[in-house]
């Protein structure tokens, strides 16, 4: 998440939502404070179990963490590029939302070569990305200055299509576990939207509200194998787990107050990694269900 105006959050309208008690899951530090900058985001886990996050030591970089407290520089992005969300496709290539360059970057993990997979000057600042089995990428595109945002589709050949304009501040984005739906949240408005995905084109339709929160911001989110969404609740200091039907089923309290994103990994895919903005650190906790993307990368 970049440039979230917390003052704007207090004026947003909201509907009542079901709440759940804080879960008993214990969070632990995986990477200590200030190893990453406050621009820490991503995160993503490759098929070998390595964890990646942006802004290692300074913005414009990506760090790799192969075990607890062992973070190193993975790659420095081209001049003028700063990464945000990270995803991997089933062939092992890394994709990075480059919010200053208006790009989605593609990185070969073997050679560390960085190329521009997609670019559009019409993008505000690509923030987070999600990737379907087919390789189609969905990108959120907020404009923090006026609280608006767009939603983009990036085809496997890099062709960029605007799916929806003039939304709220689009941020977290995720493909459902069954590949039938796309979830997109709006940070300032605190909405999570659910769309149907057209199997042939990858376009979206039938937009409806999944859930709206009464307070705090929304940032990155990921699905587990049962289709539940794990949502980073910026300034709430927690990850909130929401069912595919919009019910809050679990809340995991964090040490840091400003989580920016989450990813599943570990030996069984049931370890959740959380990037924390104000700490420049990564916390982790265990869950009962493996992550959607982790399972896809094992096949």
With bands split at pLDDT 50, 70 and 90, how would you rate the model's confidence at 68?
A: very high
Longest CA–CA span in the chain (Å) reads 50
Q: Give, as one character, the DSSP assignment of residue 77.
A: P
Pairing between β-strand 238-242 and β-strand 229-233 as defined by DSSP bridges? antiparallel
Q: What is the pLDDT of residues 272-297, one digit of tens each?
A: 999 999 999 999 999 999 999 999 99
What distances in angstroms separate CA 284 from CA 41, 96, 100, 219, 241, one per listed residue?
Answer: 14, 22, 29, 17, 15
**Contact predicate 163/139, CB 8 Å:** no
- Is pLDDT of 48 > 50? yes
Q: Give, as one character, the DSSP assignment of residue 21.
A: P
With bands split at pLDDT 50, 70 and 90, how would you rate the model's confidence at 299?
A: confident
- Per-residue pLDDT, 26: 84
End-to-end CA distance of the chain: 31
| More confident call, 151 vs 9 | 151
Q: What is the pLDDT of residues 142-162, one digit of tens each?
A: 999 999 999 999 999 999 999
- Is pLDDT of 24 > 70? no
**Contact predicate 36/72, CB 8 Å:** no
- Is pLDDT of 7 > 60? no
- Per-residue pLDDT, 19: 59
* Residue from 214, 209, 175 nearest 293 by CA: 175
Neighbour count for residue 33 (Cβ, 10 Å): 13
**Contact predicate 227/178, CB 8 Å:** yes
As a dihedral over the C-alpha atoms of residue 148, residue 36, residue 107, residue 133, rounded to 10 degrees, the angle is -60
Give the domain ranges of the chain.
24-297
- Is pLDDT of 213 > 80? yes
Give the CA angle between residues 216, 272, 254 to the nearest 5°.
Answer: 40
Q: What is the CATH number of domain 24-297?
A: 2.120.10.30
- Is pLDDT of 2 > 80? no
Question: How many residues make up the chain in this entry?
Answer: 299
- Per-residue pLDDT, 5: 41
Q: Name the pTM for this structure.
A: 0.93
């Amino acid at each position: 998440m970049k440039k979230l105006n917390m003052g704007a959050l207090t004026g947003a309208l909201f509907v009542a939502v079901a709440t759940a008690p804080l879960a008993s899951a214990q969070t632990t530090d995986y990477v200590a404070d200030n190893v990453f900058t406050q621009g820490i985001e991503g995160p993503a886990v490759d098929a070998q179990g390595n964890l990646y996050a942006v802004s290692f030591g300074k913005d414009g970089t990506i760090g790799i963490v192969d075990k607890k407290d062992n973070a190193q520089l993975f790659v420095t992005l081209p001049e003028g590029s700063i990464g945000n969300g990270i995803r991997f496709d089933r062939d092992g290539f890394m994709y990075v939302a480059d919010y200053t360059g208006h790009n989605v970057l593609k990185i070969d993990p073997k050679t560390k070569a960085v190329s521009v997979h997609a670019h559009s000057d019409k993008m505000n600042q690509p923030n987070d990305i999600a990737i379907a089995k087919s390789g189609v990428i969905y990108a959120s595109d907020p404009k923090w200055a006026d609280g608006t945002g767009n939603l983009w589709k990036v085809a496997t050949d890099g062709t960029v299509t605007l799916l929806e304009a003039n939304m709220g501040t689009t941020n977290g984005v995720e493909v459902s576990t069954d590949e039938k739906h796309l979830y997109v949240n709006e940070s300032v408005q605190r909405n999570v939207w659910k769309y149907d995905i057209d199997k042939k084109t990858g376009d979206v339709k039938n937009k409806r509200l999944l859930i709206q929160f009464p307070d705090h911001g929304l940032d990155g989110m990921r699905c587990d194998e049962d289709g539940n969404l794990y949502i980073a609740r910026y300034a709430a200091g927690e990850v909130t787990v929401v069912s595919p039907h919009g019910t809050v089923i679990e809340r995991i309290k964090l040490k840091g107050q400003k989580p920016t994103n989450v990813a599943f990994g570990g030996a069984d895919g049931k370890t959740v990694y959380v990037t924390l903005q104000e700490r420049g650190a990564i916390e982790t906790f265990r869950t009962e269900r493996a992550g959607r993307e982790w399972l896809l990368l094992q096949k």
